[in-house]
Chain A
Amino acid sequence: MTNNMSASESLKQSTEPLDVERIRQDFPILQQQVNGHRLAFLDSAASSQRPQSVIDAISHYYENDHANVHRGVHTLSHRATDKYEGAREKVRQFINAASTREIVFTRGTTEAINLVANSLGEQFSKGDEIIISHLEHHSNIVPWQMLCERTGATLRVIPINHKGEILIEDFLAMLGSRTKLIAVSHVSNALGTINPVADIISAAKKRNVPVLIDGAQAVPHQSVDVAALDCDFYAFSGHKMCGPTGIGVLYAREDLLKIMPPYQGGGDMILTVSFDGTTYNELPYKFEAGTPNISGAIGLGAAIDYLQQVGMANISAHESKLLNYATTAVEDIEGLTIIGTAASKAGVLSFNIDGIHPHDLGTVLDHQGVAIRTGHHCAMPVMEFFGLAGTARASLGFYNNHEDIDQLVNALHVAIKMFRS
């Protein structure tokens, strides 16, 4: 696959089985023993691991090219700027945005959402409504609650059913003349539900309501095409897609970014500054105050190169098969309940075992070299809906294999034996 192939084209490509053992060789961190066992890393929904090429790209940048961007006339500054802007172009291609003016680098998904809440959202007032869903991560709840407190706007929440699926009819009934923004996740981090974002966006478009998609859990696992989706905002994080921490992306439609006020003030986001007033820089720099995370963006660019080389369609197919394998493998375990059984799911397996608290499960599994996340997954309302304090969550990356799942299942049996005996 070439790098200039758009995301929509790659989706149409036929898939080929991943050579997962070869891929695993690209990830140095997976080559270790943890607590005397082979590492089965099943916590990619919290943060993925990085291939050597991403680590090398960051090292190479610091060893050879670092200087501040958009400023110097010297060679290193040019190189750093070219690489930083080159990464922006890679992001643009990866999600099929129309222009790099629509690609704003942020610290992550959380900052991208806060940017929209603090910029576009400041125009909202009493009586206006923002719609989110019951499935959201705290980062797509709290910024809107804070905005509602500031502006008097009202937060509406799309309910879910016991499979962990959004009730689309309830959403359609909620959508009205007061709706000013819809902010929903593409994929639920806690349950893995793939939300019907295309349906949500098309309903919103009929009423000219902008839609923000939290894509943190979608971008690493499936091909995303913002043009095909026709969303207004799409937010995601580098560290969940084999890139560095501290870098993320806000895709936003150019006409919206033009009318939105800056989020933060500082260097780089201005054209001229005087004490009589300041003129703001062009897009996307108007929204990138201060020296950006240059190495983070370059690392993200390298991660995109790597993902495209593997192929997003291949990644989706592999993870989907592995999720089925894992689901079948744990279903037979006595007392185990899978939380989140949506018809359409990405690589997340959230579950509880009768009589064993998720935290204890996490510790016992860690002793067997199995890394999972336990707790509320920054989605307390989801846990509340299911009447749980938390769950154990195994989440998949394309570098996971059957052995990882078998190791998980064996470790679960060890835990059950220990706590039930």
Chain B
Amino acid sequence: MNSAEDLKALYRDTVLEHSRNPRHCGRLESATHSAIGHNPLCGDKVTVHLKIDGDRIEDIAFEGTGCAISLASASIMTETEIHHTVDEAKQETDKILQQFSSTQDNAPAIEGEMAALGSVRQYPSRIKCATLAWKTLEAALSDDAQQVTTEK
């Protein structure tokens, strides 16, 4: 973890692009479910809003400020989960959180758009940046009105 290439692997163009132009960023007036997530280590806060109609996520948005990693993760999350069913979203969230908790060298590769953030696993202090939005989505999906933190 010491070369310019490693740094470039962490901050891939996809990541930087998402962080500069995050998708679905803002309020969602029609939200049926919302949750707030905190990362007490850096003071970052993210709110995830969902409009759930039946068993499907009709719309999704997030609010908050954060580092490039957390903004990119939140942005990719909204693109991934919009129009998915609640069960699909729950399973996918579980999988992402599990994949990012594995810091072994032989950890399974991350699939989909979140693969762009795979290198974060080599930076223990930054993993929480990548998981904050997903943990918050998990809380919003489970109707858990409580605030979540990356420390749980």
Contacts and interface: CB of A to CB of B under 8 A. Distances in A.
Interface string A364-391: 1001000000111000100100000110
A162 interface: no
A199 to B, nearest CB: 32
Nearest to A389: B43
A418 B2 CA distance: 16
Interface residues of A, number: 19
A34 to B, nearest CB: 8
A363 interface: yes
Contacts of A360: 11, 67-69
Contacts of B129: 359
A262 interface: no
Contact of A374 (B11, B42, B123): B42
Interface in B19-35: none
A363 B123 contact: yes
Contacts of A389: 42-45, 65-66
A367 B10 CA distance: 11
A108 interface: no
A418 B1 contact: no
Contact of B69 (A35, A359, A367, A380): A359
B142 to A, nearest CB: 26
A363 B10 contact: yes
Contact of A36 (B2, B45, B69, B123): B2
B143 interface: no
Contact of B42 (A359, A367, A418): A359
21 contacts: A36-B2, A36-B3, A357-B65, A357-B66, A358-B42, A359-B67, A359-B69, A360-B68, A363-B7, A363-B10, A363-B126, A364-B7, A367-B1, A367-B2, A375-B42, A375-B43, A376-B43, A389-B42, A389-B44, A418-B16, A419-B16
Interface of B: 1-4, 6-7, 10-11, 16, 41-45, 65-69, 123, 126, 129
Given A389-B65, A418-B11, 16 more contacts: A36-B2, A37-B2, A357-B65, A357-B67, A359-B126, A360-B11, A360-B67, A363-B123, A364-B7, A374-B42, A375-B41, A375-B43, A389-B43, A390-B42, A390-B43, A419-B16
